[in-house]
Amino acid sequence: MPQSNRSYLPHVVRSAPPRPDLVVSAIRLIPDQRTFAATDPVQIELTITNQGTAATASGFWVDLGFNPLEAPRQNLLWQDNCGTVVCQGLTWGVTTTLETGASIVLRSTPDSYAASFTRWEGRLPAGTNNLYVYVDVWNPESATGTVDEGSAGEQNNTTVLTGLTVEGTRTSSAAPPELPPRPATP
């Protein structure tokens, strides 16, 4: 009988390097309801969580828009994607390091958002059905924003709150606002 020799080599698997993974873990409207009049004051709270395996190494931008023309994507700012409702949106510049598992709450109050890049009247625009949030939305020098989350992490940066009804008439122009150029990092 012929003799066979078998060799077994170890199977080497390289794990991906540790990276942050930013997600919107909660969207909260105050008051907690889904139907509003266009004159009702509303506060919006977003919870951004780093569910990755490394801390963020740089600041990043978060955009919130109402009924956009298309689903938000990297480097498409809210003011360049206004739908049929009054062109409003909010921008936050997050400069704090988010450690693994850490969260930060962003609010629609004047002391919370980046006023130069925000148009917010404190109430939802008439006709709003959807509210979109994009985390790490902007860095014109990169297709991944300022936080490198790897390909898997970049796929979960958009969150939408659907089922809203905002009745009433428009209170300002639907034209996109003229905002200053936004830097790559806050």
Query: What is the percent of the chain with per-residue pLDDT over 90, rounded to a whole number?
Result: 76
CATH H-level, domain 22-167: superfamily: Immunoglobulins (2.60.40.10)
With cut-offs at 50, 70 and 90, classify the pLDDT of residue 167. Answer: very high
Contact 182, 77 (CB under 8 A): yes
What's the pLDDT at 143? 87
Distances, alpha carbon 168 to alpha carbons 40, 107, 126, 127, 131, in Å: 10, 24, 5, 8, 17
Question: What pLDDT score was predicted for residue 1?
Answer: 58
pLDDT at 175 over 70: no
Structure confidence at residue 154 (pLDDT): 87
Q: Which residue has the higher pLDDT, 128 or 173?
A: 128
Domain range summary for the chain, segments of one domain joined by +: 22-167
Nearest to 52 by CA among 124, 101, 12, 108: 101
What pLDDT score was predicted for residue 177?
75
Q: How confident is the model at residue 152 (pLDDT cuts 50, 70, 90)?
A: confident
Give me the pLDDT at residue 15, please: 76
Query: What is the rounded CA–CA span in Å between residue 176 and residue 78?
Result: 9
pLDDT in tens, 62-96: 999 999 999 999 999 999 998 766 789 999 999 99
Q: Pinpoint the alpha helices (H) of the chain.
A: 150-154
Phi, psi of 118, rounded to the nearest 5 degrees: -125, 140
Q: Of 64-73, 88-97, 118-127, 163-172, which gets the smallest average pLDDT?
A: 163-172
